[in-house]
Structure 1
Amino acid sequence: MPTMDIGTGTLWYEEFGSGDEVVLSSAMGFARGGYPEVLGDPPTGYRVFTIQARGFGRSTHPAAPPEIGWLDQWADDVCAFADRIGVDRFLYTGISHGGGIGWHIARRNPARLKALISVVGTPHDRAGGTGSSEGRRRFIAQRKDPAAVVANLEHMAGWTDDPARIESRRVRFAKQAEEAGLRPDDEAELNQGKPFPEATTDEELAEVYRGIRLPVLILAGMRDGVISPQSALRAAVNVRGAKAVLFEDEGHMVGEESAERLVREVRVFVDELNGVAEPPMRA
């Protein structure tokens, strides 16, 4: 469980796989056995680094929020980490707020990205302002009430009628509610806000997307209680050449609940980038 000194702080990380494709991902934390860890498993076998974002866990905890904002700071931290491991260009993938980090890399340092893979992570609709998402505000306010935390997680995840998934969520969410109550205040109250806060309307957000010029894969769940289908489609129709896969039966927890399903789509996308995708079948 190593840490990396990036000059302005240290970042805790884990490494999986050993392939030629280098994938970086950053977030508050990562579920064991979830996406993007599975990207390192055969047959995909990418070389994956999961990086705990500044302000959380064993990474540096700054005394005050960064002047440039959390998302820009986290984006710069990922690029600094890439410098330390000697990687110029990389695939970046992130889930939810981790996807937001990737969108900020795409704006600040597009030359560093071979591609961006956003998983339930397209920037939020502009309704309610840009200071934070409703879900994050609610989670912070109610984090010491286990029943409220579970209810918030159920809302985020989106509805399901799959008995196995319902039971899995019951167990996971109870554990996460317990962990939320024990989290240090500086972590629990950290609120990064919505990506691209300078875009105050949905049309201004669409204009930001039009300025992004790199390969982007958008993976979204239509039952997501955090990132709306409209958010995913807004990115898909405004980022030139973007590819989007929209799962009707998935929600915001797709990274934990359907990691292999995501990995298959990523592998097809990367093979297409590399020119090695199998040609379509002909009738």
Structure 2
Amino acid sequence: MPYVEVEKGVQYYYEDVGQGKPIVFVHGWGANRKVWERQVVDFSDKYRVITIDCRGCGNSDNPAHGYEISQLADDLNQVIQSLDLKDATLVGWSAGGSIVVDYVSRYGGEAVTKVVSVGGAVPRYTSTEGFDLGAPLENVKATLTAMRANRPAVARAIADGCFHQDVGQPMKDWLFNNFMEQSWLTEKTMADLGVIDLRKQLKEISIPVAFFHGLQDGVVPFSLSEYSANEVPGAKLVAFENSSHAPFLEELERFNEELASFIQS
């Protein structure tokens, strides 16, 4: 199985399908590469599609440390460098949106030339003085407390909240089971999402950026992507009217069309 060592003793699992211009997909908090299965199938006939499992998720290692967004972005850089990628597009969902934005603010330009945040927790997930668009920090603390008491119940609530349309119980179960493959250590990423602030990083991005977001998103508010798109010169904002937090599942065809259009532009 293919692995990249992102630091001494820590291996990332990845899958690499197809040939052509690279697209690297980064999953959201607690999920893994499998959430992108339709994008792997639909894009790999024209592109090189790479999906990764972040630390603590899927088949990657579960070290006791390194779950902060900045470290996950550094891990992503190690994967990209190890695979010697050039002119790649990064696509990050939810917390993965935070990871790819942090990555391109520090590393973007040659290996990665375009980035897409999908329902991203960008620029910050929680509200603070001078920024009232996010959720109260107390909500994150309450979620972490609930995870300690009943992690499956929290994962179930998040999985169900990813959908606006009636996708059926099997789809919700599939996403829930995906979340349950994570290590309990990923609660450290959730905790970091409560405090990180990427407003400064937005202003440092010099490559094309698109913000894809479901208008019905009850997990990460659409207003965050509206704000972020206004902060990055020339950024593209794409609203998915019939989606909650996972437009790549709820509006698959349009999502893939919008992604292909952005990559080709």
Scaled to the shorter chain, the TM-score interval is: 0.7 to 0.9
Q: 1:158 to 1:185 in 2, by over 3 A?
A: closer
Report the TM-score when normalising by structure 1. 0.76
Q: 1:139 to 1:110 in 2, by over 3 A?
A: farther
Superposed, which structure 2 residues align to 1:40-51 within 5 Å?
40-42=43-45, 45-51=46-52
Q: State which of 209, 214, 220 in structure 2 corresponds to 1:216.
A: 209
Q: 1:34 to 1:179 in 2, by over 3 A?
A: closer
Three-state SS of the structure 2 residue aligned to 1:34 is: helix
Computed over aligned residues only, the root mean square deviation of the Cα atoms, in angstroms, reads 3.1
Shift of 1:122: 4.2
- Using the aligned pairs only, state the percent identity: 21
Shift of 1:258: 2.9
Shift of 1:262: 1.4
Q: State which of 214, 218, 227 in structure 1 corresponds to 2:220.
A: 227
Superposed, which structure 2 residues align to 1:102-141 within 5 Å?
102-111=100-109, 112-123=111-122, 124-127=124-127, 128=135, 133=140, 137=144, 140-141=147-148
Letter matched to residue 30 of structure 1: R
Superposed, which structure 2 residues align to 1:123-272 within 5 Å?
123=122, 124-127=124-127, 128=135, 133=140, 137=144, 140-141=147-148, 143-144=150-151, 146=153, 149-154=155-160, 156-160=161-165, 162=166, 165=167, 167=168, 170-177=169-176, 184-187=183-186, 191=190, 193-194=192-193, 197-198=196-197, 205=199, 207-272=200-265
Matched with 2:16 is: 15
Q: Which range moves more in the overlay, 136-145 or 54-63?
A: 136-145
Superposed, which structure 2 residues align to 1:40-79 within 5 Å?
40-42=43-45, 45-63=46-64, 65-66=65-66, 70-79=68-77
Matched with 2:33 is: 30
Shift of 1:241: 0.7
Question: For 2:24 and 2:181, how far apart are their aligned partners in 1?
Answer: 28
Matched with 2:5 is: 5
Shift of 1:250: 0.9
Question: For 2:180 and 2:126, how far apart are their aligned partners in 1?
Answer: 30
Alignment: residue pair count: 252
Report the TM-score when normalising by structure 2. 0.80
Letter matched to residue 191 of structure 1: M
Three-state SS of the structure 2 residue aligned to 1:98 is: helix
In our comparison, the structure showing a higher alpha carbon Rg is 1
Q: 1:264 to 1:195 in 2, by over 3 A?
A: farther
